[in-house]
C-alpha cells in the first residue's frame, strides 16, 4: 500500500505544483474582486464533484466493483462498469443542465452579500463553468476502475490537465472571452471546461488497454448498479450537509470586505497540497485493500490496514500543519505577491492559511476513516459526522467572525474538521471494536518531536526574508526554498534517528519499485 500511495502521491504532487503555479498566475493577472466572483462560481460544481466524482467512486463504485469481481469474475465486473457508467452519464447530464438553468438562484444561496454587478458576473461564470461536473464525473469513473485494478499512474497525473489549461487562460482564453463579449475572468471558466475534457481524454488509452473502453449502457436493471446507487443516496444527504457548510462559509464571506473569498480560497489551495498529495494518495491506495479485505471477511486485517494508513497519513500531515503555520507569510508572499496582489493581500491570505493549516491533520485523518466505513458498505455514519462538522462550524464561525472576519471562518473550518474526526473514530470503534489506536498515538508522539526541531529551523531561516518585497524578489525565493529544504531534512533526520517505522516503509517501498524497474 505504501508503494501504491507513493505513485499516486508523485502524480498528485505534479498536479498540485501546477495548481500552485495556476493560482499564482490568476492572482497576478486578475483583480481580487474578479477572482472573488470566479472562486464562488467554481466552488459550486467543484463541490458536487465530491458526490458525483470522487465520492461516488470511493463510497459506491469501488466497493461494489470489488464485490462483483470477487464473486462473479472479471467479465461480470465489466458489465457492471458499463451499466453504472450509463446511469451516471444521465445523472451528470441532468445535474449540469440544472446548474446552467438555475445559476441565478444557486449563486443567491452562495453569495447573497455581493453587490449587483459582482453578483451578475458570478451568475454568468456559474453558467459557463457548471458543465465541468459532467466531465469530472466521467473522469472519476475511469479513475475508479483503474485504481481498483491497481493502475494508479494515469489517474494520478490526469488532473494536471485542468491546471495546465487554466495556466494558459490569460494568453489563450482571454482573447476568446473578449471575442464572446465576456469579462476577461470568464477565460478561467472556459479553461476549466477544456481542462475537464483533457482529463477525460488522458484516461482513454489506459482504459482501452485494460478493456474498459466499452460504450456505456443503461444498467438500471442490474442489481449491482442499483446497489451502488443505493449506497450513493445516503451520500447525497451528506453532500447536502457539506453543501450547507460550504454555502454558509461562502455566504459569510460575501458579507465581509472585498477579497475575503479569495483569501480563503488561496489559503485552502495551499493546505490542499499535503491533503491532496499524501492524504488522498494514501486513501486512494487503501480503498481497494480495505474493500477486498472486507469482502473476504478479514475484519482484523481491515483494522490493521486502517491504523497503518492512518499512521502513514499523519506522518506527513502533522508536519505539514506545523510548517504551514510557521511559514504562512513567506509562502503566500512568494506564491502570490506580484501584479494585482499586494502585500496587504499577502498578510490576509497568510492568516487564512495559518488557521486552515491547523486542521490539515484532521482532514487527512478523515480521508482515511471514511473509506473504512465505505468498506463496510456504510455510507450513513459519515453523513452523521458531517452534520457534527456543520454544527461546530456554524457555532465557531458566528462567534469568531465579528472580531476575526475571514480568519474566523478559517478557524471554524479547522475546529469543525477536528470535531468530525472525533465523531468518526468514536462511531468506528463502536462498529468494529478496538482499533489499535495505541500504535497511532505512539507514532504521533515521535512525529511531534521531529516537528519541534523542524519548526525551529524553518522559523530561524525565514527571519532572513524581506517578505514585503513580494514573490519576484530573488532573496525571498532563496530564503523560502532554504527554509523548506532544511525543514524537510531536519524532520526526516529526526525520524531516521528515532527509527520511525513509517519512514522505513516508504523508503523500502521506493527501493523495491526502483529495483523492479532496474530488472526490467
pLDDT for 11 = 63
Q: Dump pLDDT digits (tens) for 213-263.
A: 777 788 888 888 888 888 777 766 666 676 677 788 889 999 999 999 999
Q: Dump pLDDT digits (tens) for 321-377.
A: 999 999 999 999 999 999 889 999 999 999 999 999 999 999 889 888 887 887 777
pLDDT for 5 = 59
Burial of 384 per CB tally in 10 Å (0-12, 13-18, 19+): middle
Residue identified by cell 490496514 is: 305
> Please, which pLDDT band fits residue 152 given cuts at 50, 70 and 90?
low
Q: pLDDT at residue 395 above 70?
A: yes
pLDDT for 287 = 61
pLDDT for 193 = 92
Q: pLDDT at residue 164 above 80?
A: yes
Separation between Cα atoms, residue 137 and residue 171, nearest integer Å = 28
- Scanning 298-435, the segments in alpha helix (DSSP H) are 299-326, 328-336, 343-357, 360-375, 381-404, 406-432
Residue identified by cell 491497481 is: 150
Instruction: Give the CA distances from residue 89 to residues 78, 137, 161, in Å, rounded to whole numbers and listed in that order.
Output: 16, 8, 21
- Tell how far CA 156 is from the center of its chain: 12
> Which one-letter DSSP state was computed for residue 519?
T
- Tell how far CA 118 is from the center of its chain: 27
Separation between Cα atoms, residue 118 and residue 126, nearest integer Å = 12
Residue 410 maps to a domain: no
> Please, which pLDDT band fits residue 282 given cuts at 50, 70 and 90?
low
Separation between Cα atoms, residue 266 and residue 335, nearest integer Å = 10
Residue identified by cell 527571519 is: 463
Contact predicate 41/189, CB 8 Å:
yes
What does the mean pLDDT of the chain come to?
85
Instruction: Give the CA distances from residue 377 to residues 141, 302, 435, in Å, rounded to whole numbers and listed in that order.
Output: 18, 13, 18
> Which one-letter DSSP state was computed for residue 279?
I
Tell me which residue of 139, 159, 155 sits closest to 52, measured CA to CA: 139
pTM of the predicted structure, to 2 decimals: 0.77
Separation between Cα atoms, residue 371 and residue 466, nearest integer Å = 44
Residue 346 maps to a domain: no
pLDDT for 2 = 58
The vertex-415 CA angle with 381 and 368, nearest 5°, equals: 45
> Which one-letter DSSP state was computed for residue 216?
P
Q: pLDDT at residue 276 above 70?
A: no
The vertex-41 CA angle with 387 and 367, nearest 5°, equals: 40
Instruction: Give the CA distances from residue 472 to residues 142, 371, 372, 395, in Å, rounded to whole numbers and listed in that order.
Output: 40, 42, 45, 40
State the Cα torsion 202-204-206-208 to the nearest 10°. Answer: -170
Q: pLDDT at residue 54 above 70?
A: no
pLDDT for 162 = 85
Q: Dump pLDDT digits (tens) for 452-467.
A: 999 999 999 999 999 9
| Signed CA dihedral, 406, 407, 408, 412: sign only | positive
Termini Cα distance of the chain: 22
Separation between Cα atoms, residue 354 and residue 366, nearest integer Å = 20
Residue 298 maps to a domain: no
Q: pLDDT at residue 517 above 60?
A: no
Domain coverage including residue 179: 31-236
C-alpha cell at 499: 527509527
Separation between Cα atoms, residue 35 and residue 265, nearest integer Å = 10
* Residue 10: how many other CB atoms lie within 10 Å: 15
Please tell me the total count of domains within the chain: 1
pLDDT for 172 = 87
> Which residues have CB under 8 Å from 140's CB, separation 6+?
49, 52, 53, 54, 56, 57
Contact predicate 500/365, CB 8 Å:
no
Residue 69 maps to a domain: yes
The vertex-395 CA angle with 364 and 266, nearest 5°, equals: 50
Residue 114 maps to a domain: yes
> Please, which pLDDT band fits residue 284 given cuts at 50, 70 and 90?
low
Separation between Cα atoms, residue 174 and residue 179, nearest integer Å = 9
Residue 137 maps to a domain: yes
pLDDT for 285 = 64
pLDDT for 47 = 76
Instruction: Give the CA distances from residue 110 to residues 40, 103, 106, in Å, rounded to whole numbers and listed in that order.
Output: 7, 11, 7
> Which one-letter DSSP state was computed for residue 114?
S
Residue 375 maps to a domain: no
Burial of 279 per CB tally in 10 Å (0-12, 13-18, 19+): buried
Separation between Cα atoms, residue 78 and residue 230, nearest integer Å = 20
Q: Dump pLDDT digits (tens) for 288-333.
A: 666 676 666 667 777 788 888 888 889 989 999 999 999 999 999 9
Residue 428 maps to a domain: no
Amino acid at each position: 500500500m505504501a508503494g501504491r500511495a507513493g505513485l499516486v502521491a508523485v502524480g498528485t504532487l505534479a498536479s498540485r505544483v501546477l495548481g500552485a503555479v495556476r493560482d499564482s498566475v490568476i492572482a497576478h493577472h486578475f483583480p481580487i474582486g474578479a477572482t472573488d466572483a470566479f472562486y464562488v462560481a467554481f466552488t459550486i460544481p467543484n463541490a458536487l464533484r465530491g458526490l458525483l466524482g470522487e465520492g461516488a467512486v470511493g463510497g459506491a463504485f469501488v466497493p461494489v466493483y470489488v464485490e462483483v469481481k470477487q464473486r462473479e469474475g472479471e467479465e461480470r465486473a465489466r458489465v457492471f462498469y458499463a451499466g453504472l457508467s450509463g446511469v451516471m452519464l444521465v445523472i451528470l447530464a441532468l445535474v449540469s443542465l440544472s446548474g446552467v438553468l438555475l445559476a441565478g438562484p444557486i449563486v443567491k444561496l452562495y453569495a447573497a452579500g455581493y453587490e449587483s454587478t459582482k453578483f451578475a458576473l458570478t451568475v454568468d461564470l456559474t453558467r459557463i463553468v457548471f458543465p465541468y461536473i459532467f466531465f469530472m464525473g466521467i473522469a472519476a469513473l475511469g479513475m475508479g476502475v483503474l485504481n481498483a485494478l491497481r493502475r494508479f499512474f494515469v489517474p494520478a497525473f490526469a488532473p494536471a490537465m485542468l491546471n495546465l489549461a487554466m495556466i494558459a487562460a490569460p494568453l489563450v482564453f482571454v482573447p476568446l472571452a473578449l471575442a464572446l463579449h465576456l469579462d476577461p475572468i470568464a477565460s478561467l471558466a472556459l479553461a476549466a471546461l477544456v481542462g475537464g475534457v483533457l482529463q477525460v481524454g488522458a484516461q482513454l488509452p489506459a482504459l482501452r488497454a485494460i478493456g474498459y473502453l466499452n460504450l456505456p449502457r443503461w444498467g438500471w436493471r442490474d442489481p449491482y448498479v442499483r446497489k451502488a446507487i443505493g449506497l450513493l443516496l445516503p451520500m447525497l444527504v451528506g453532500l447536502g450537509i457539506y453543501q450547507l457548510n460550504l454555502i454558509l462559509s461562502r455566504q459569510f464571506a460575501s458579507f465581509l470586505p472585498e477579497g475575503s473569498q479569495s483569501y480563503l480560497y488561496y489559503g485552502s489551495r495551499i493546505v490542499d497540497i499535503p491533503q491532496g498529495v499524501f492524504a488522498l494518495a494514501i486513501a486512494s491506495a487503501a480503498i481497494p485493500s480495505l474493500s477486498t479485505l472486507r469482502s473476504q471477511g478479514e475484519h482484523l486485517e481491515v483494522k490493521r490496514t486502517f491504523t497503518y494508513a492512518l499512521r502513514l497519513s499523519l506522518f506527513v500531515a502533522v508536519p505539514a500543519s506545523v510548517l504551514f503555520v510557521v511559514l504562512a507569510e513567506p509562502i503566500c508572499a512568494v506564491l502570490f505577491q506580484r501584479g494585482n496582489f499586494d502585500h496587504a493581500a499577502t498578510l490576509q491570505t497568510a492568516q487564512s492559511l495559518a488557521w486552515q493549516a491547523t486542521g490539515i491533520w484532521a482532514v487527512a485523518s478523515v480521508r482515511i476513516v471514511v473509506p473504512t466505513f465505505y468498506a463496510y458498505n456504510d455510507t450513513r455514519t459519515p453523513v452523521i459526522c458531517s452534520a457534527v462538522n456543520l454544527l461546530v462550524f456554524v457555532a465557531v464561525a458566528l462567534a469568531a467572525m465579528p472580531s476575526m472576519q475571514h480568519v474566523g471562518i478559517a478557524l471554524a473550518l479547522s475546529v469543525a474538521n477536528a470535531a468530525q474526526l472525533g465523531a468518526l473514530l468514536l462511531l468506528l470503534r463502536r462498529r468494529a471494536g478496538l482499533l489499535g489506536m495505541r500504535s497511532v498515538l505512539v507514532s504521533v508522539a515521535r512525529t511531534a518531536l521531529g516537528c519541534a526541531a523542524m519548526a525551529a529551523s524553518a522559523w530561524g531561516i525565514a527571519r532572513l526574508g524581506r517578505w514585503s518585497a513580494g514573490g519576484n524578489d530573488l532573496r525571498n525565493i532563496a530564503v523560502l526554498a532554504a527554509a523548506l529544504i532544511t525543514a524537510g531534512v531536519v524532520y526526516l533526520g529526526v525520524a531516521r534517528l528515532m527509527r520511525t517505522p513509517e519512514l522505513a516503509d516508504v523508503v523500502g517501498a521506493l527501493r523495491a519499485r526502483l529495483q523492479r524497474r532496474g530488472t526490467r
